[in-house]
Chain A
């Protein structure tokens, strides 16, 4: 057994072709993890197994669960959690943070432009058809100024590390990105289980997220409001992320409401309370655009509030994220983000983009149809990892099916080379051992008026099935606590 490898890692098998976040190519432990390995090394795998079981029970007892839709019966599941954290050093994080802010700012300017002068379309940097054909572009938002000029208040930027060691942005989530509650509860669970390890590291806190979120949402309150009343609008307890909605409302100290708890009168929004109507100024909504207001969008929506959009149009309420932001996180727009950054900010993108083939373009379409096996083909408008096909895992029959679907509606698909996501030692229950598993990182950026905040942490998602590349929780992924180290003094 090599000297650097503590006992709980004795069975760890390192595939040198993959980028391991903890070990370098020679198998030595990387600097930031050395102390952690020493601490964990004192435990036996049996101890670890027991701690893991306790942490799991505590998640379940607290109701930190989510729902999976594709099962025949929908089940409450706990989000599998791993007590071995991921560590990101200070300078590496500074780079990620600057990159995330740059992207979010550029996307916000892009959205403003799309709904106002449309210069980027006039200049031919982004094709008009891409925007006109997007189901997420809301004509109702044309010429509307959202309070504070902000569209994407909350962004979830998904970042991966490729085998080349570089960080790449996989996608921007700027509709209703979820997952932040897991960041906070993972930290809580790790503290309960292994409090001692925190004494040996200077990691940034994540518990200030709710406070910062509320603070920044209040900066974009409607004009003329002194102390705004903020609410979290949820589709209800059957939504996969209901736990998160209630958690955020609770930690921000604001009400959690469903559409039927609100009403609109004379273009102002009110919440029904036992003390009578209470005016609402800022709505952190976790329901999709088309369900917001049955008078304006989907008339069969029972989740929304009749008249809400009129109140918004009049400037009497702030909706975060703004309706219509979805047009900019469309996966076909993704490939233009580097150009969007250059266009509005005059800067080179800090974080790299993954090469993306737009099936709507004839040349790209031809390439994709011929190389399905080497590509990841994704629908442009699905979230949560649904509908993705990874070329090297497909049967001949499935390849034909993908080709047929792409040929029938090319605009609906993009394709990317199959990336090799970095791996991280992860405790696997079935084998009671640490194994390499692919990971990504969702960062959370909150933009207010003249103020931006990036959560110093993030959701490291783990693909629990060996070799699986899809890390979304709805596809059976797990997660890890993510530590961002403070600069050593």
Chain B
């Protein structure tokens, strides 16, 4: 069983003064993986600039554009189509699930294998003694992560326009409001503090079921369960990532997954808008 998805991504950038030279990089192509087929890509810009495919520092495909003429605004439109297998997040032998034992997680070979997803970053750093969810050593790792998912979902109120991409957990725990990347960062910070490797995932969420996160790119988390592997948690919606989650990239935090990076040479400010639509056919 599979879904056929068509995703459109639109972005528009406008500048106060004409910029003379500009480069953009889009980290928006759905990843090819066990449940996602290689996507068909259509990409256009209002300037008709040629685009090229490259890879970022972690090997995820990016679209890159360089403009050598003056412009005041530019629009981009990308369309991806792919098939996604129906995903059952619990498709593993429950016998493999392990209890939460900090001591075992703290062993050197395990920490070494995942150190990039265990170390804290400026966006996922939790102050010592922050009033957050604490793992229960009496239950399993999966139960703890599901409880964490629910805790983050209940602790933060989904509100757009309050936080920004550089909001730290310290600020967030005061505001208690935010959008998907804030939910993801909080989950990651708490999981890592308990010795569970966790990574930030950016992608698209198929709406239609009233989930939060439409019309923009979505963010969720993958946490590593020993013996089972990486499992997706979506704390913004208190669900497991499954068929409706179309993954683009993962990284240590938002900064590794920023969908659009632009470098322009010219004075003045800029305004930027994005829009995302996900359509499915069965």
Contact = CB atoms under 8 A, between A and B. Distances in A.
B23 A124 contact: no
Interface string A255-274: 00000100111110000000
Interface string B111-145: 11001101100000000000000000000000000
B94 interface: no
A122 B112 contact: yes
B112 A121 contact: yes
Nearest to A118: B112
Interface residues of A, number: 29
B206 interface: no
A51 interface: no
Bin chain B's interface residue count.
20 to 34
B108 A263 contact: no
Interface in B159-173: none
Contacts of B194: none
A174 B169 CA distance: 34
A128 interface: yes
Interface stretch (A39-47, A72-80, A87-95, A294-302): A294-302
Nearest to A307: B64
B57 A306 contact: no
B23 to A, nearest CB: 4
B2 interface: no
A128 B52 contact: no
A361 interface: no
B157 interface: no
B265 interface: yes
Contact of A128 (B112, B252, B258, B261): B112
Contacts of A139: 57-58, 116, 252
B263 interface: yes
B109 interface: yes
A105 interface: no
A265 B66 CA distance: 8
B52 A132 contact: no
A299 B119 CA distance: 21
B54 interface: yes
B173 to A, nearest CB: 21
11 contacts: A121-B108, A122-B112, A132-B115, A132-B116, A263-B66, A295-B25, A295-B261, A299-B258, A306-B263, A310-B64, A313-B55
Given A132-B115, A264-B66, A299-B258, 11 more contacts: A121-B112, A128-B112, A140-B58, A142-B116, A266-B52, A295-B261, A295-B263, A296-B57, A307-B25, A309-B56, A310-B57
Interface of B: 21, 23, 25, 52, 54-58, 62, 64, 66, 108-109, 111-112, 115-116, 118-119, 252, 258, 261, 263, 265
4 residue pairs, one from A and one from B, having the closest CB atoms: A140-B57, A306-B23, A132-B115, A295-B25
